Amino acid sequence: MLLQGDRSAPPQCFSPIVRSWERCRELGLFSAQPARLELLEPGELERRKEQHIFFVHLAANELNVLRRAIAGTAGMVLLADPQGTILDGRGDSGFVGKAKRISLRPGATWSEVLEGTNAIGTALVEQQLVQIAGDQHFLAENRFLVCTAIPVMSPTGEIAGILDISGDVRNPPTHASMLLQLATARIEHSWVSLHGAHDLLAAFHPHPSWLGTPHEGLLAFRDELLVAANPAALRLLRLIPEDINRVRWGELFRNQSFYGRGEIYPRSHPGVFYGNVQKTLTSVAMPAVAAPCSSGVEGRSTEILIRDEAIWDSESIQMLTRAKRAFEAGIPLLLQGETGTGKEVFVRALQRLSSRASEPFVPVNCAAIPEGLQEAEIFGYEEGAFTGARRKGSPGYIRRAEGGVLFLDEIGDMPLALQAQLLRVLQDGEVTPLGARRSVRVDFRLVAATHHDLQAAVAEGSFRADLYYRLRHMVFYLPPLRKRPNLAGILDAMLASLGGEARGVRLTTAARKRLLEHSWPGNLRELSNLLSALLAFAEDGSWIDADSLPQDIMTSREAEPEPEPARPQKLSDVTDELLRQAIREHGGNMSAAARQLGLHRSTLYRRLSGAPL
């Protein structure tokens, strides 16, 4: 209902809006001035999103939930950063078009300074949920709106941004305040458990039935120091955000810290909470052989673990810990590294440590599937979708990964048309199988991997820029063996993990020198295979000398220089003789030959199908 009276006078309503009107007058704003139309450049908007990456991705699912909740009304849901700049928005197409006329869309800033009294800007200043309807807006151009906005708090107590539901005041979205409060509680709750380094996570509530819900209090501790909390916990314990990183467990509770379920007695009042306290992982416990080794820095040593052809040292464990935080937040991950650096092993370890440990793990090598079959294999198909289709169709790799992890290896070899389909799946959370009339909702975590330079592929036009920007938020580089600064320690750890230490088999100085000088194009897999073969022929308690090494390692007196990246070329420039020569030079290794020629492996296979060797 529109407020009556002089539109230039502050509405007689709740004090937050009155205070906002007073601020607007002090700023020299006047109600008849037009709304601003300036938008951030697309590049700057992407930079803002990256700046608030965890907030954006944690909120993405809630935006979809809110959009469905207000379906049928003229409205939209919005996500804004702490400056009031809209980062994301979705909703009714008719209302979105109308909202664009006043720049109620991504890239526009809705602070009070620029737009006067409005839900986003006023919620930021008042730091509470506010609803601004019709004439309560200071600027006349905005008075067709009814908007409800609420701040979202980070785990350390700062405002991370704003969730907003906006609509037409004549057909307002219903239950906006309740929907926003629930969505915000879910974001804030999830974020605390994903907060950086904590070794104890305490959930509590006066009523045991509320445990496990977004409304429980959630505290994260590191060495019993409070490092993160959701607003529900602050309210229950009568704390302020400034208490985070200042108070310890013993200052908050009368009983000592514990693990498991039990009663917690707060010092702030005489009540009792029902709690569930969990010890969390701050490092990766890998059941593998550990070998202490010199790190090359005097007085320092490190521990290297070898498991499943992967290296687990302090750097890779820290990388895995960061990847887990992003994974749990629903952020797509991109791994870059050569063949044999352990990309799939890394992803499997990531899933084992995650909340989706018991769900499916579906690995897909995009370079190994013929291009004509990739759409059907990845996205699925219905019965009769094409000649030769299986009876009853196929769910496809994406639906097989439901609830779990889809690992798309060599994503750089995915055709452009399928890249567009994958992007739509990531944006909408739905997949449309080949030949199907309806989309299917899917829930999975995506991890992609490639040895290609995707940024260069974008410049060449062989990889979609929008998909690349979607994937590049969290990029993890697995270095090749030759670039590892602790190669000597890796060699010792690998030998020990294969049983060499237990059998008393050792390397002579000459053999060790040759192995450290080798460039290891096959990375850890090549090292593992070589040492396994050497140990198979070695007697217990014996020495492995340089004469036992393969000829290519014997002649490698110094590390091979980094190969120059092949210049991409057109297929028409590559003659059949060049193809044959490259394949011969690499002993039939099609991937290596394709890299030398600057071609995708699938492109090389297509050429060979018409040009037999």
Residue 433: closest CA among 421, 446, 420: 421
- Report the CATH fold assignment for 15-185: Beta-Lactamase (3.30.450)
The token pair that represents 234 in the structure block: 């602050």
Q: Tokens 């205070």 belong to which residue?
A: 19
CA–CA gap between residue 259 and residue 242 (Å, rounded): 26
Q: Is 254 helix (H, G, I), strand (E, B) or coil?
A: coil
Region of 598 (left: φ > 0; alpha: ψ -120 to 50; beta: rest) is left
Residue pair 148/128 in contact (Cβ under 8 Å)? The answer is no
What CATH number should be reported for the domain whose range is 314-469? 3.40.50.300
Task: Identify which of 162, 182, 172 has the alpha carbon closest to the alpha carbon of residue 118.
Answer: 162
Residue 460, CA distances (Å) to 187, 265, 271, 454 in order: 39, 62, 65, 10
- What is the side-by-side order of every strand in the sheet holding 301-307? 289-294, 301-307, 310-312
Residue that is written with structure tokens 């059941």 in the block: 287
Whole-angstrom distance, CA of residue 546 vs CA of residue 554: 7
Q: Is the torsion defined by CA of 353, 354, 356, 362 positive or negative?
A: negative
DSSP 448: E
In this structure, which CATH number among 1.10.10, 1.10.760, 1.10.3470, 1.10.1200 belongs to the domain 571-610? 1.10.10
Say how far apart CA 428 and CA 420 lie, in whole Å: 12
Instruction: Determine contact, residues 96/122, Cβ cutoff 8 Å.
Output: no
Query: Distance between CA 185 and CA 214 in Å, rounded?
Result: 6
Write the DSSP string, 89-119.
EEE-HHHHHHHHTTT-STT-B--HHHH-S-H
31 vs 78: CA distance, rounded Å: 24
What is the model's pLDDT at position 125? 96
- The answer to whether residues 406 and 398 touch, using CB atoms and an 8 Å cutoff, is yes
- Answer yes or no: are the C-beta atoms of 95 and 101 closer than 8 Å: no
- Residue 16 Cα to chain centre, angstroms: 37
For residue 231, give both structure tokens: 């607003």
CA distance 454 to 465: 9
Show the 3-state SS of 330-373. Answer: CCCEEEECCCCCCHHHHHHHHHHHCCCCCCCEEEEEHHHCCHHH
Cβ atoms < 10 Å from Cβ of 82: 17
Question: Using the 8-state DSSP alphabet, how is residue 257 labeled?
Answer: P
Which CATH code is given to the segment(s) 481-554? 1.10.8.60
CA distance between the termini of the chain: 79
pLDDT for res 577: 59
Q: Which of 114, 134, 135, 139 is nearest to 124 (CA)?
A: 114
Strands (E) located in 50-156: 75-80, 86-91, 130-133, 145-153
| Location of each CATH 1.10.8.60 domain in the chain | 481-554
List per-block mean pLDDT (blocks of 10 residues) for the chain, which spans 613 residues.
Answer: 40 77 93 81 84 83 88 89 93 81 89 94 96 94 94 94 94 91 93 74 92 91 91 95 94 90 92 86 38 36 60 76 82 88 88 85 90 86 68 86 94 91 90 86 93 87 89 86 86 86 90 90 88 90 89 59 43 56 63 66 59 38
